[in-house]
Structure 1
């Protein structure tokens, strides 16, 4: 029903991928939010109360699932965590790798944040978040080494990808059971591949997640900010109900390439525009993107990736002001 509302509305909806400003609004830091599900939820709720996003999203933290497998993670007070070192030194280690249960690492805290959001935010859909299988495999094996393995040891690479996929299906199933309306599945590392490579080593596995979980009440939104336009066909082939693009693509060309019954989202630069630009810059860029994409009923304006910490609230307000002005003229 929400998806149909997007298609039928004459107004342009906005779904920025944004949680960090909410953390700052409630007086907490990034470390607090990525380690405590209650703080994470409070940041989501603060943004939901303050701004008219059409959907609530969670932090795009691409270390949670790798940590659950046993990867080492380095934490920072005011930035998102990073995976350090290499969990899997060779393909023999891949064979021995066990799929973790949902009690490992910080998974319970992220499940808690989603659960609290579902319970307390009733006026809009909640989208959970998780990493994609190729990006997860790269964090476990080392991204450069895994890229080589895909071409030198493809069968072993596919064993790891399948283990990652099986785990992600379990995690995504738990999110769905909590009542979230969908997940943003972040697969940025797949943008390093050719379209054919993306199809073989990413989309093939994402299709399993889509087939298992996507239905009339739950949608998969595939995010790939590493795509410069070269692997859009592989993204489309997953069957995901929504496709989310980074600022490296031409949004109009991308919309022309995507099926009209698929929601297409993007792609204002979260760093050079939202963090480093002025409110006038943000307003102008937002208005320009809205005008250039005005003919496409399946477009939802968004940031090209997660809005980073320390973004000016004036810039966020300029983003929504531009959308409001555009919609008043519709």
Structure 2
């Protein structure tokens, strides 16, 4: 039995005593205890050793007081499982030395047996579930197929992913075949996460905002829809497509339980677009956590007031920044927990 099921009830649209709160990227880079593990183990060691992933996942529950844990992993474990090499380069981010450039490159990819290739994530979820012992729900996640394609084609991070976009526009058949392979892998992977104990699944479309509405439908949402369809009767689902607010109505129509939004859209406008039958999540600017604590408290109250009571999960509009002091993160969480809409 869960001692704190605020997140689950909010995603189901039930009445709750207060707004639940967690933070994207809460397990990791701003926590001193995480940095100590980072100094000892490589990035993928931290992901692939269940005891390390579990320890990192639980740190923010114990140290910051969030209402949910999100498994420590990375969206790029999926291309890795499909057969591409992925390196994490300190200070630079992900690097895929042999990216997909043409149709013949698809021969190098597989739709893997997820238990064989990603079983370590399922082991970490099972161990985390046991260690949490019902304190808070556990969130699993994956990258949206469009965002995964961006890295598989571009080979590294980018502000524009122009090579990935050009690939889709000049080789549409190859692009859609790749997107479908990623989608099939992701569905199997997320179903495995649910079986291993995930209470909620979030789909991260970090680069959805790079696409106009028609391209977002064709290259991203079409595939997210398949994932939500496959999962929505088994588990609560959240779509977070950063910057793609113009498609909130279409995302709401997928049957997902929650929609993440960033800080560039007013909560009232997001609600108008998404309708009243879905929970909104967000949308505090992560950089604002660098403000003095009294400013953070005031700004968080303004955010909560703007969303109003019910059907809101307090979160950041993107991942927490590495240079945020832990007591500032805690001030964000505590302000939400102490806030009353009455």
Given the two structures, how large is their TM-score scaled by the length of structure 2? 0.85
Q: Does 1:292 align with 2:309?
A: no
Corresponding position of 1:3 = 9
SS of the residue corresponding to residue 177 of structure 2 reads helix
Aligned counterpart in structure 2 of residue 278 of structure 1, from 292, 295, 319: 292
Instruction: Give the superposed CA RMSD.
Output: 2.5
Instruction: Call closer, same or farther: CA 1:190–1:156 in 2, change over 3 Å.
Output: same
Corresponding position of 1:28 = 37
Matched-pair contact (CA < 8 Å) for 1:61–1:81: no
**Worse overlay, 258-267 or 308-317:** 308-317
Matched-pair contact (CA < 8 Å) for 1:286–1:323: yes
Matched-pair contact (CA < 8 Å) for 1:61–1:80: no
SS of the residue corresponding to residue 263 of structure 2 reads coil
Aligned counterpart in structure 2 of residue 118 of structure 1, from 106, 115, 129: 129
Distance 1:74 1:226 in 2: 27
Corresponding position of 1:241 = 257
Matched-pair contact (CA < 8 Å) for 1:242–1:265: yes
Aligned counterpart in structure 1 of residue 186 of structure 2, from 134, 143, 168: 168
State the 1:285 CA deviation: 1.8
Measured against aligned partners, the alpha-carbon deviations of 1:121-172 in whole angstroms (never above 9, x if no partner) come to 1122111111111111121122423312333332221111100100001101
Instruction: Call closer, same or farther: CA 1:287–1:260 in 2, change over 3 Å.
Output: same
Structure 2 gap segments, 5+ residues each? 155-160
Q: Does 1:223 align with 2:247?
A: no
Aligned counterpart in structure 2 of residue 303 of structure 1, from 310, 313, 316: 316
Q: Does 1:261 align with 2:291?
A: no
Measured against aligned partners, the alpha-carbon deviations of 1:261-280 in whole angstroms (never above 9, x if no partner) come to 2111011122x222x33323
State the 1:81 CA deviation: 4.5
Matched-pair contact (CA < 8 Å) for 1:70–1:87: no
Corresponding position of 1:13 = 20
State the 1:249 CA deviation: 2.3
SS of the residue corresponding to residue 226 of structure 1 reads coil
Distance 1:76 1:157 in 2: 27
Structure 1 stretches of 4+ moved >4 Å:
none
Matched-pair contact (CA < 8 Å) for 1:133–1:164: yes
Corresponding position of 1:193 = 211
Instruction: Call closer, same or farther: CA 1:267–1:101 in 2, change over 3 Å.
Output: same
Instruction: Call closer, same or farther: CA 1:23–1:245 in 2, change over 3 Å.
Output: same
Aligned counterpart in structure 2 of residue 89 of structure 1, from 87, 90, 101: 101
Instruction: Call closer, same or farther: CA 1:23–1:68 in 2, change over 3 Å.
Output: farther
Matched-pair contact (CA < 8 Å) for 1:135–1:190: yes
Matched-pair contact (CA < 8 Å) for 1:6–1:13: no
Corresponding position of 2:225 = 207
Distance 1:308 1:36 in 2: 24
Distance 2:175 2:77 in 1: 21
Matched-pair contact (CA < 8 Å) for 1:73–1:81: no
Measured against aligned partners, the alpha-carbon deviations of 1:216-241 in whole angstroms (never above 9, x if no partner) come to x51221111232x2232332233211
